Amino acid sequence: MADIRKSYVDCRYGQLHLRTAGAGGLPLVCFHMSPYSGLHYEPFMKEMAKDSLVIAPDTPGYGGSDSAGEAPTMADFAAAMLDMLDALELDQVDMMGFHTGTFVALALADLAPERVRKLILPGIPYADVEGRDKRLAMFSGDRPYFTEDGYVQKRWDLGLKGRGDQSDDRFIALFAESVRTGVSGMNRGFAAVYRFDPNAAINSLDKPVFIPVPDEMLAESTREAAKLFNNATIEEWPDLKGDLFDVAAAEVAYRMRKWLDQ
């Protein structure tokens, strides 16, 4: 199984941390959900990297990447990822995102369409204007680590409830990665999601898109978003849960590779 290598490249906001695995073929760049990092994709990367290069950067302000500021936008995240492609001398890539990562992928495809061949977008956090405004209000402040009694315990318990079949060590590693973002940093990725209007990026997109719909928290919003794409393959995955990149990594890699190879 392919080893995962960690490295940094320079971007306009400082240093960008990334994981890579495998070699050959058109690279697949994987954008993670908030408030985690490329660590989220490690089991999936090891499977996907058996026959291609896989890259999982940390979004600015998450994992080991420097922050893009107090209120970064999807355009800021996309610009940093374009810097990464330039630094790695990658003329064209396939892209995959999950939750927050779906919008990073869309924003990058909108910014530099010539650099993208295909997109895979499971778990799209789509909402109408009213829904975005409500969620943005929820994620506009700091997380109450030091002002709300039992907050850390509540986050731990909520994570345990939704972790699926992740191992204990894997759960702890991801929990620690989420806490690493800090009091104010944790919400920045979520706020960027709900400041972003994906409709224009979707309307201008002329790339093939694969939209799997696993049985997870954003399944319904993913179905709503899927209606807006002009060139999308939509596939229901009721047999896979929110831990699909962990316990089902081999199966997910198989299904995604099958579509990418078409």
CATH at 206? 3.40.50.1820
Helices 74-87/188-195 angle, 10° precision: 110
C-alpha distances in Å from residue 7, one per residue of 17, 81, 96, 209: 6, 14, 20, 29
In the predicted model, residues of the chain with pLDDT beneath 50 are none
Residue 185 CA to its chain's centroid (Å): 16
pLDDT of residue 1: 63
C-alpha distances in Å from residue 130, one per residue of 137, 142, 174: 11, 22, 31
pTM for the whole thing?
0.97
pLDDT of residue 164: 86
Q: How many domains does the chain have?
A: 1
Contact 252, 172 (CB under 8 A): no
Q: Which DSSP symbol is given to 162?
A: H
Contact 90, 116 (CB under 8 A): no
Picking from 231, 17, 228, 222, the residue whose alpha carbon sits closest to that of residue 102 is: 222
pLDDT tens for each residue of 155-193: 999 999 888 899 999 999 999 999 999 999 999 999 999
pLDDT tens for each residue of 190-221: 999 999 999 999 999 999 999 999 999 999 99
- 238 lies in which domain range? 4-260
Helices 168-179/151-162 angle, 10° precision: 140
* Token pair belonging to 162: 């939704």
